Amino acid sequence: MAFDAVTTRDAPLSEAALAQLFTEARTRNGWTDRPVPEALLRQLYDLTKFGPTAVNATPARFVFVTSPEAKARLVPLMSEGNQAKTAQAPVTVIIGHDLDFHEHLPVLFPHAPGAKDWFGEEAGRKETAFRNSSLQGGYFLLAARALGLDVGPMSGFDPAGVKAEFFPDGNVEPNFIVNLGYGSDENLFPRSPRLGFEEAAQIL
């Protein structure tokens, strides 16, 4: 039987919601001193975790750097242009990827009991972990904006230094870093151009 009614799942978000997530959202370089409560950080993770990844691997690992002591460890490891805004942001999040993600597959992907064995080679795990943690990082940025937060993603940092300082145990590698909080217009650049559909996409 045909069913043409629009469900909540089928309906597009409002223009205001799309603006908050995409068209009006900006990468922030300046930050207000408004705090971000721990409960909101936990809610942010709890939204992010529902984004799909290959075999539900969810390899991303998140370190929320909030205390002055932790910031003092991180800021010197940022590139020069990223140090001041990282020091100012109320929260800085290190997004890493666990190369041993496959150890969790018996729990995370239970309908395929042999899934862990699919990732016996570390080279394959590296590719899967990096790709899917990057995907989770994208979910993280959108989840943060959906919760009313601003974001400032960065790739300028010392990866070996960040790994040694924040992931000394286990097999987690840093992927990228995000400043998080309530942004100001300080050092806000004009919006840069984007490629048009015909320049970046095709329909076959």
| CATH code at position 36 | 3.40.109.10
12 is a domain residue: no
Amino acid at 96: G
Q: pTM here?
A: 0.94
181 is a domain residue: yes
pLDDT confidence of residue 7: 59
Alpha carbon distance 79, 173 (integer Å) = 18
Say if residues 172 and 63 touch (Cβ distance below 8 Å). Answer: no
The total of structural domains in the chain comes to 1
Sequential pLDDT tens for the chain (204 residues): 454 555 567 899 999 999 999 999 999 999 999 999 999 999 999 999 999 999 999 999 999 999 999 999 999 999 999 999 999 999 999 999 999 999 999 999 999 999 999 999 999 999 999 999 999 999 999 999 999 999 999 999 999 999 999 999 999 999 999 999 999 999 999 999 999 999 999 999
pLDDT confidence of residue 168: 96
pLDDT confidence of residue 101: 98
* Alpha-carbon distances of 113 from 45, 52, 103, 104, 105, rounded to whole Å: 27, 19, 12, 11, 8
Domain that holds residue 67: 27-185
20 is a domain residue: no
- At residue 130's C-alpha, the angle toward residues 141 and 127, to 5°, is 150
109 is a domain residue: yes
115 is a domain residue: yes
Q: Which of 73, 80, 125 is nearest to 94 (CA)?
A: 73
pLDDT confidence of residue 4: 53
pLDDT confidence of residue 1: 43
14 is a domain residue: no
Residues 6+ apart with CB under 8 A from 32: 181, 182, 183, 184
pLDDT confidence of residue 121: 94
